[in-house]
A = this chain, B = another copy of it.
Amino acid sequence: MTHDTAFLDGILPDDAVARSTASLDAHATDWGTESEDGVAPDVVVYPETTDAVSAVLSAADERGVPVTPYAAGTSLEGNPVPVEGGISMDLTRMDEVLAVRPGDFQVDVQPGVLGSVVDEAVGEYGLFFPPLPSSGDISTIGGMIANDASGMGTVKYGEVADWVLELEAVLADGSVVSPGSRAIKSSSGYNLKDLLVGSEGTLAVITRATLKLAGRPQQVRAGRALFPTLDDAVGAVTDAVQSGVDVAKIELLDRDSARMANAYSGTDLPDRPTVFVEFHADHGVAEEVEFCTTVFADHDAERFAVVDGDEMDDLWAAREELAVAIEAWDPDLRPLHPGDVTVPIGDLGAVVRRAKELAAERDQVVPCFGHAGDGNLHYTVLVDPDDDEAVARAEETYADIVALALERGGTATGEHGIGLGKREYLVAEHGEAGVAAMRSLKTALDPNDTLNPEKIFPGENADRPQ
């Protein structure tokens, strides 16, 4: 579908409108869809101000031209793919840290700033942004808010939504709202802020955010333990969380993931289920490490090494390079739909075990890892993309694991949103009435379906003006 976007030239300066093939192609996919052709927009715009965002939106909304926000493109579910063409709105020129208020533990940022840049800017005041995802040095705050991202620190600190105090956002008709406040709590009116967080650019374009920060812990320790079996490793994680060990990160790698990480990084560690852990405290970190050691020992932990300072980087490297290690494992195999499910912590063991059983039954390679302390499981099926039958069987395993997470009261996506990839699970998770309520919210805030159409909701939107 091609849209007439000539009207943009009257709204934006020349250097803020791009129609080159390279620009269009660069906005046709995200990480999760980059092996596909994607859908190129008709035009890419690079607004630098809230007024510019508003002007583009109100003009596009009047003309029935879709607008899909785009930032770093590091999402996994096709969230910013402009499937109906139109305008890709690239927010990466709005990349400033506007103000740090250390006494209030707050920072104001533009949406296109990288997470690591924010973390560095507030670091000089002894502060940090705790829910930063692992991709924080290449992904933007706007994208994290749009997908309600989270990361390794979520087990202690919560998800991105928990750290957003106030937003400035532009609705489809160009009107500008500022939901939330700078107070750390509010019960004033409807919580429009948390409705926009995680709405994947389908309800508004975020143009500014006030984030809450935390003081950097004075004591940090990192640890890594190997376990004889997956059951031991999952048992150790579950037991640590349930016993109240104060972990700031607790990550699980199954044997397949460990094998790929070890191969990629060239360590001499045996390929065993592995748990990485990090402790943050202002005092008493030694007691916490000791507590964790006792819990891990009950599950036959081996080689539990705890380090601090620069040694922590080396220890964490294997975990942090894992996504790349899985990609690199076998040049003939591609990871199908890397993403996550999340379940109550008490159900994590059952879900991981079943995932591995399915892999064994179907003779598939399914590396499992994730922010296990949250009940979060990342998994992917490695598959030959040219073997249609193998791809179909891989899709089945993928879907079975999502279904299992939902059965256990969990969610189809803990941290990557629905995008295109998980639309088919929305009704299973939220029910017909829940999805109908969500659709009515979309219609209320974006009646012409201008913003990021066809995302989140299954099927075509019959109301879309042609």
- Give A residues with C-beta under 8 Å from B: 101-106, 147-150, 154, 158-159, 161-162, 166, 171, 175-179, 181-192, 194-195, 197-199, 203, 215, 238, 242, 244, 246, 281-284, 287-288, 342-347, 374-376, 405, 408-418, 422, 425-426, 429-431, 433-438, 440-445, 456
Q: Which residues of B contact A242 (CB under 8 A)?
A: 102-103, 105
Whether B186 contacts A195 by the Cβ 8 Å rule is no
The smallest beta-carbon distance between A299 and chain B, in angstroms, is 16
The smallest beta-carbon distance between A141 and chain B, in angstroms, is 15
With A104-B344, A187-B147 as given contacts, are A440 and B434 in contact (CB-CB < 8 Å)? Answer: no
Q: How far is the CA of A411 from the CA of B441 in the complex (A)?
A: 24
Whether B413 contacts A187 by the Cβ 8 Å rule is yes
Q: How far is the CA of A343 from the CA of B430 in the complex (A)?
A: 36
The smallest beta-carbon distance between A444 and chain B, in angstroms, is 4
Whether B456 contacts A189 by the Cβ 8 Å rule is yes
Whether B150 contacts A185 by the Cβ 8 Å rule is yes
Given A183-B342, A188-B425, 16 more contacts at CB 8 Å?
A102-B242, A147-B187, A175-B433, A176-B433, A179-B434, A183-B409, A185-B376, A186-B414, A187-B411, A189-B418, A190-B198, A195-B441, A215-B244, A282-B284, A284-B287, A441-B441
Whether B435 contacts A346 by the Cβ 8 Å rule is no
Q: Which residues of B contact A441 (CB under 8 A)?
A: 190, 192, 195, 441, 444-445
Q: Which residues of B contact A376 (CB under 8 A)?
A: 183, 185
Q: How far is the CA of A418 from the CA of B317 in the complex (A)?
A: 50
Q: Which residues of B contact A343 (CB under 8 A)?
A: 182-183
Q: Which residues of B contact A158 (CB under 8 A)?
A: 162, 185
Selected contact of A342 from candidates B184, B347, B374, B430, CB within 8 Å: B184
Q: Which of A161, A187, A195, A441 lies at the interface centre, i.e. has the most chain B CB atoms within 10 A of its CB?
A: A187
A243 (CB) vs chain B CBs: closest residue: B215
Q: How far is the CA of A198 from the CA of B181 in the complex (A)?
A: 15
Selected contact of A284 from candidates B147, B171, B284, B344, CB within 8 Å: B284
Q: Which residues of B contact A425 (CB under 8 A)?
A: 188
The smallest beta-carbon distance between A193 and chain B, in angstroms, is 9
Whether A189 contacts B430 by the Cβ 8 Å rule is yes
Q: How far is the CA of A12 from the CA of B271 in the complex (A)?
A: 63
Whether A410 contacts B189 by the Cβ 8 Å rule is no
Q: Which 6 A-B pairs have the closest CB atoms?
A: A182-B409, A186-B411, A444-B444, A284-B284, A194-B194, A183-B342
* 22 A-B contact pairs sorted by A residue (CB < 8 Å): A103-B345, A105-B242, A106-B344, A147-B187, A148-B186, A150-B185, A154-B184, A159-B187, A181-B342, A183-B374, A183-B375, A183-B411, A185-B342, A185-B374, A187-B415, A189-B429, A189-B456, A192-B441, A282-B284, A283-B284, A284-B287, A441-B441
Whether B444 contacts A182 by the Cβ 8 Å rule is no
The smallest beta-carbon distance between A18 and chain B, in angstroms, is 30
Q: Which residues of B contact A445 (CB under 8 A)?
A: 437, 440-441
A199 (CB) vs chain B CBs: closest residue: B190
Q: Which residues of B contact A438 (CB under 8 A)?
A: 189-190, 192
Q: How far is the CA of A106 from the CA of B288 in the complex (A)?
A: 24
Q: How far is the CA of A438 from the CA of B159 in the complex (A)?
A: 24
Q: How far is the CA of A171 from the CA of B375 in the complex (A)?
A: 30
The smallest beta-carbon distance between A199 and chain B, in angstroms, is 6
Q: Which residues of B contact A238 (CB under 8 A)?
A: 103
Q: Which residues of B contact A177 (CB under 8 A)?
A: 430-431, 433-434, 437
Q: How far is the CA of A436 from the CA of B174 in the complex (A)?
A: 13
The smallest beta-carbon distance between A115 and chain B, in angstroms, is 16
With A106-B344, A154-B185, A186-B414 as given contacts, are A195 and B195 in contact (CB-CB < 8 Å)? Answer: yes
Whether B187 contacts A148 by the Cβ 8 Å rule is yes
Q: How far is the CA of A244 from the CA of B284 in the complex (A)?
A: 16
Selected contact of A344 from candidates B176, B182, B281, B442, CB within 8 Å: B182
The smallest beta-carbon distance between A280 and chain B, in angstroms, is 12
Q: Which residues of B contact A282 (CB under 8 A)?
A: 244, 246, 284, 287
